[in-house]
Amino acid sequence: MVPLRRVRLLTAICLAVCLGASPARAFLQYDVEANWLLDGIEVLQHPQRDTPIAIDTLDFSFGGTRCPTAGSPNFLCAHQIGRAELVGSAMTVHALTKIVRRDAVGGMLETMSTDARILMSGFTAAFPQPDRGFAAFYFGLHGTLASTPSIPPSLTVETTVNAELYAPSLHEVDCLGDECPPIVIPMTTDTGATDAWNPQVHVLMLRLFTKSRILSSPGFDGWNADSIADFGDTLALLAIQPQDENHNPIAGHFVLPDGAGPGIPLDIADTPPPTTTTTSTLPGATTSTTPPATTTTSTLPATTEVCGNCIDDDVDGLVDFEQAACCPAAGVRTFTLRRARLGAAGTGSHLSVTASVADTALADVVPGHDVFLQVRGGPSPFCARIPADHLVVKHGKTAVFVDRKQTVAGAGGITKATLRGAKSALVIHLEGPRAQLALPAAGPLELVVAFRDVAGANRCSSATPAFRKAGKKGLRAP
């Protein structure tokens, strides 16, 4: 996939948290990125402003021309929507990518992605906020994924969607329905905290990302394919419910003060809408109003582990790629640690890890796989995710990730990664000068490297080397 040149305001997180400064200036920021590569033509739109954003390419074909008449040879019709707006007091983002091909000619890579975000910072609490408590985020998520099955090795069709909350770490929204089960995260008044959301300091981001991708082999002609990620309806943050340290709801709501943007002050509801939920759909479609009492939601059962959200969803003491639910036996590979260094860096760590994963080639994981690193030395692991679309292949032998300004949400402070093919193995190197990992004590640390496939065919490897002291404030292994 074409690397997306994302520019985000998440550096404000480090300025507020890493420096332990006073509360960040209140702001409200809208950010939409639309990217496509069709028939060798790349177009990138990336508005970022203080007012709501709406991108709608309408139906287009090669070179941006109108879609041809249905039935035309090598038919292509694509569409893209990205919107970031406020609907009442609900933060709302929309994203749609659609590629439709009929009687097509092979030998082309056709990729489209839309990334819509809203960022806020500087909330005040219209209630006595406890020093430690929780915040329950309520969402509505509507959309569909539709794609033609791939025909290996002649045709590859990929259709994906990611709905995410960042506050101050990454959380995935995994549901479809008017009201999703809430995401509950720790909340604090401590301006230097990195393990909990501080409403006054931390940036809160709502993100919806869709991608459609079709790759066809040269000489494979006359095929049909659809890749549609239709979330042009909505992902909305409906409410933030404050809770005390025992998860009891606290009466009150959050306000974004004057000066943060148009229409401020903004009140964020503390409970989801009690009666109906109205959703606006794609142009030409109808508007639906559904009473919550009759709403049907599609969610992952509470006993199912969600791979990649850094949460012990099934409450078995294991997180994500530490367990067979995310790492089936067929995907387990031998892990050999070559070198690991950890050093104190403020509230985090300077991290450098080099390891090899046996029986894995670069082509097995790039493109199409997110890269994960988990480090556990206590009750909860450190988790970092490098999105597949941020890995750039160099000379066909190495994939590289670079994020010096730490703008990629979920990367955990990892600023550089390389994946290099070696004899019967894949060598991976990860480093970050200020990773969001509190320096652990010397002793055994579990390291997990995983490659997450959108189809669920994950590859995982792990080891538990003993780390020994190195210098005054460092650890090393072996």
Note the pLDDT tens digit of each residue in 362-376. Answer: 888 888 888 999 998
Could you count the other beta carbons within 10 Å of the beta carbon of residue 384? 24
pLDDT at residue 178, as a whole number: 55
List C-alpha distances in Å: 316 to 171, 303, 363, 436. 19, 9, 33, 24
Residue 275 confidence (pLDDT) above 60: no
Residue 130 and residue 192 in one domain: yes
Residue 48 and residue 164 in one domain: yes
Q: Residue range 422-447: average pLDDT?
A: 89
pLDDT at residue 401, as a whole number: 93
Q: Is residue 314 part of a domain?
A: no
pLDDT at residue 45, as a whole number: 64
% of the chain beyond a pLDDT of 90: 26
Measured CA to CA, the distance from residue 213 to residue 279 in angstroms comes to 27
Q: Is residue 460 part of a domain?
A: yes
pLDDT band at 39 (very low <50, low <70, confident <90, very high): low
pLDDT band at 9 (very low <50, low <70, confident <90, very high): very low
Q: Is residue 6 part of a domain?
A: no
pLDDT at residue 3, as a whole number: 28
pLDDT at residue 157, as a whole number: 93
pLDDT at residue 259, as a whole number: 55
Q: Amino acid identity, residue 296?
A: T
Residue 276 confidence (pLDDT) above 60: no
Residue 141 and residue 205 in one domain: yes
In tens, the pLDDT along 373-400 reads 999 887 678 899 898 888 888 877 899 9
Q: Is residue 311 part of a domain?
A: no
Q: Is residue 213 part of a domain?
A: yes
More confident residue, 32 or 24: 32
In tens, the pLDDT along 404-434 reads 888 887 888 899 999 998 888 899 999 999 8
Give per-residue burial for 259-283: e unless 16+ CB within 10 Å, then b.
ebbeebebebbbebbeeebebbbee
Cα dihedral sign, 144-221-151-424:
negative
More confident residue, 275 or 39: 39
pLDDT band at 300 (very low <50, low <70, confident <90, very high): very low
Residue 287 and residue 350 in one domain: no
- Mean predicted lDDT score pLDDT of the chain: 79
Helical spans, DSSP H, in 33-123: none
More confident residue, 138 or 46: 138
Q: Residue range 331-360: average pLDDT?
A: 89
More confident residue, 327 or 12: 327
In tens, the pLDDT along 72-92 reads 999 999 999 888 887 777 788
Residue 175 confidence (pLDDT) above 60: yes
Beta-strand runs (E) in 151-250: 155-166, 170-172, 175-176, 183-188, 204-216, 223-243
Q: How many domains does the chain have?
A: 2
List C-alpha distances in Å: 451 to 208, 209, 327, 366. 22, 19, 10, 9
In tens, the pLDDT along 107-161 reads 888 999 898 999 888 888 888 899 999 999 988 888 888 889 888 889 999 998 8
Measured CA to CA, the distance from residue 253 to residue 457 in angstroms comes to 42
Q: Is residue 395 part of a domain?
A: yes
pLDDT at residue 342, as a whole number: 93
Q: Could you list the residue range(s) of the whole structural domain that residue 202 is in?
A: 11-299
Residue 279 and residue 334 in one domain: no
More confident residue, 336 or 38: 336
Residue 192 confidence (pLDDT) above 70: yes
Residue 294 and residue 325 in one domain: no
Q: Residue range 322-331: average pLDDT?
A: 85
Residue 343 and residue 468 in one domain: yes
pTM for this model (two decimals): 0.55
Measured CA to CA, the distance from residue 196 to residue 132 in angstroms comes to 9
Residue 286 and residue 370 in one domain: no
Q: Which of 224, 286, 283, 287 is nearest to 59 (CA)?
A: 283
Mean pLDDT lowest for which of 227-236, 256-265, 384-393, 441-450?
A: 256-265
Residue 244 and residue 353 in one domain: no
Residue 136 and residue 180 in one domain: yes
Q: Among 234, 264, 299, where does a domain finish?
A: 299
Contact 96, 158 (CB under 8 A): no
Measured CA to CA, the distance from residue 390 to residue 402 in angstroms comes to 8
Q: Residue range 449-454: average pLDDT?
A: 85
